[in-house]
Amino acid sequence: MAGCFTCAVSEADTSGARDDELRAFRSAAHALVESVVDHLAALPSRPVWQPIPDGLKSRLLDLPLPAQPATLDDLVAAMSGDVLPYAMGNGHPAFFGWVNTPPSLAGIIASLTAAAMNPSVVAGDHADVHLERTVVRWLAELVGFPHTPGGGLLTSGGSVATIVCFAGARGRALAAAGHDVRRDGLVGAPQLIAYVPAEAHSCVRRALELLGVGSGAMREVPLEGGRLDTATLCASIAADREGGAVPALLVGSAGTVNAGVIDPLEALADVASAEGLWFHVDGAYGAFGVLDTAIAARYRGMERADSLVLDPHKWLGVPVDAGCALVQRADDLRDAFSLIPPYLRQGTGAPVGTFAEYGLEQTRPFRALKTWATIAARGRSGIAAQVVRANELARELAALIESEPELELAAVPETSIVAFRTRPARCPPARLDDVNRALPEAVQARGRAFVTGTIFDGRETLRACILHPDTGSEHLATLVTEITEAARMLAAQVP
């Protein structure tokens, strides 16, 4: 990308107050870059995470509203001393918590550029708008999802992308039933039903609640050992129809949050198309796993989804926030969201509307630049290699767990999330759940590794999510040691 506008309008202003401000900005920004690089360089040798010292915590919480302006140098000093060192921990290669990655370096640079431009990415002939269209197409191409212009947009994350997709699904299902939800709300609307696997992320339920479908209208998708019980699902759909409800939505995960399991997407797609349901795939964590040829076949059916959610701020390492909603038919979103008041008229009548016509936000940040930069800095092959490596490490961790008598695997990893439990030798079985529940915090406080917990198969379970490009075998070994030592310590405590 190179070039500039052909017409210079005025000479650059090189004197006066603005010039002084920019000089101060240049110097403060250089100093900040030094701090940021020092921080990134020091990360691997520091604790993964430690509680913020009490004094600093109170200082941050009790900061008075400043009466007088601070200089940029003051702000850089505060950020470098009081903020940067006390991070969440996801920059460290021994961070295995939730689904959080370190930021890509390209994404950090792009974030500065995007902030310097500060556009509202809605419509118009400016670089940010065109780049978002390209980035959305790239994301679709990366995961093999069909794409036509308008068929997706960037969001703040997977949760909002899910709401965007479900608004499309709701509108389509109710329109087919002769109900105009945008005009009439849900008054007089038939009850929509959503079929959702038990392991679906909570954002699915939250979106259904928010859109007035209600969690009471969720039916569990019968999955036995990862296989779809099609007959039971179809019977449940038929019973709902007979009861006067409108079966509308079928959800599958391309990588569950608890154990990284890929649902039987092909079988789900078959039922959705046979029954006329909107098929939604949650690929927020796992969709990029399709780039690993060893498991790509497990994703078959994802490309048939009516909507697919991706989170570039997860496996790709785009700095938060960057989610993405992709849909087969752009008009499903435009029908749900398009509303152009006179004060926002812009390119009306264009075949592909403004971004605000396809989602929730009017003023939209320039998420595309950090996403573009992150993808461009690695290329498809670099991203694929990182995905393959993460999945390999997950299998390596699973093997370590299996060879450690005081640990047990909860599920064989399919992607880069490993669910497991501890069973310290001296721990009475009745206390195992308590020990597993308390373990993440105990491990986190020791500062050498970071892991989080969940409930899986009805039992307290640990889950290690491997997404950091620098994670290696040594970090897996540290995790196992930390878990076993902390578990023994907890087991030895009198309840």
Ligand X SMILES: Cc1ncc(COP(=O)(O)O)c(C=O)c1O
Give the footprint of ligand X on this chain (CB under 6 A). 99, 157-159, 201, 203, 253, 257, 282, 284-285, 311, 323
Provide DSSP, 317-345. -PPS--EEEEES-HHHHHHHH----GGG-
Query: Strand pairing of 223-224 and 227-228?
Result: antiparallel
Half-sphere exposure of 214 (CA within 13 A, CB side): 8
Query: Of 154 and 435, which CB lies nearer to ligand X in the complex structure?
Result: 154
In the DSSP assignment, the letter for residue 417 is E
CA–CA gap between residue 476 and residue 481 (Å, rounded) = 9
Burial class from Cβ neighbours inside 10 Å (0-12, 13-18, 19+) for residue 393 reads buried
If the CB atoms of residues 201 and 304 are measured against ligand X, the closer one turns out to be 201
Taking the complex as a whole, the smallest distance from the CB of residue 257 to ligand X amounts, in Å, to 4
Supply the minimum distance, in Å, between the C-beta of residue 321 and ligand X: 7
Shortest CA distance to 267 belongs to which of 256, 287, 281? 281
Q: Which amino acid is at 148?
A: T
Bridge partners, 18 (sequence order): none
Nearer to ligand X, 174 or 464 (CB): 464
Shortest distance, CB of residue 313 to ligand X, whole angstroms?
Answer: 6
Tell me: cis bond preceding 125? Omega within 30 of 0 counts. no
Structure tokens at 433: 């759940």
Pick 258 or 422: Cβ nearer ligand X:
258
Torsion region of 17: left, alpha or beta (phi above 0 gives left; psi -120 to 50 gives alpha) = alpha
Q: Tell the smallest beta-carbon distance from residue 417 to ligand X (Å).
A: 9
CB atoms < 10 A from the CB of 335, how many?
A: 17
Q: Whole-angstrom Cα distance, residue 196 to residue 221?
A: 5
Least spacing, CB of residue 381 vs ligand X, in Å:
25
Instruction: CB nearer to ligand X: give 353 or 440.
Output: 440
SS3 258: coil
Q: Which is nearer to ligand X, 200 or 233 (by Cβ)?
A: 200
Enumerate residues 6+ apart whose C-beta is below 8 A from 365. 114, 121, 321
Q: Which is nearer to ligand X, 106 or 310 (CB)?
A: 310
Least separation in angstroms between residue 22's CB and ligand X is: 36
Smallest separation (angstroms) from ligand X to the CB of 222: 20
Kindly state the smallest distance separating residue 97's Cβ from ligand X, in Å.
11
Q: Residue 81 carries which DSSP code? A: I
Structure tokens at 45: 């040798």
Nearer to ligand X, 424 or 440 (CB): 440
**CA-CA distance, 400 to 408, in Å (whole number)?**
10
Nearer to ligand X, 203 or 398 (CB): 203
Query: CB of 254: closest distance to ligand X in angstroms?
Result: 8
CA distances for 299 relative to 89, 283, 290, 446, angstroms: 31, 10, 6, 38
**Please, what is the minimum distance in Å from the beta carbon of residue 159 to ligand X?**
3
> 220 with 197: CB under 8 angstroms?
yes
Q: Which is nearer to ligand X, 159 or 354 (CB)?
A: 159
Q: Length of the chain, please?
A: 495
